[in-house]
Amino acid sequence: MDDKIFIAMAGNTMGSAYAVLKTMGFRVTHVLSADGQSTGLIQAENGDCVLQAEDPVLLLGLAQLVERRGPRWRSTGAEVDEFLGFQAEAI
């Protein structure tokens, strides 16, 4: 029997991602426009950063990016090149 965990992006991952963000110390809120309307984005904020995305799973990915790389979260030129090569494989 294979003990690997398999998770695919679906609605059933949203609650778990939201809960993990909260345990990581983030305050999660809806982003509103100047006139109080929903922008369709949610925001996770703690003492170190403010993250915005369309759903909790994407926010959790951004949170991990910051946790692992800190203020140097941006891609290097080599990382961009590697990613573009990866993307080209799908074409």
pTM for this model (two decimals): 0.89
Q: How far is CA 70 from the centre of its chain?
A: 14
Specify whether the CB–CB gap between 39 and 32 falls below 8 A.
Answer: yes
- Model confidence at 91, pLDDT cuts 50, 70, 90, reads confident
CB crowding 3-34: b at 16 or more within 10 Å, else e: eeeeeeeeeeeeeebbebbeeeebebeeeeee
pLDDT in tens, 51-67: 999 999 999 999 999 99
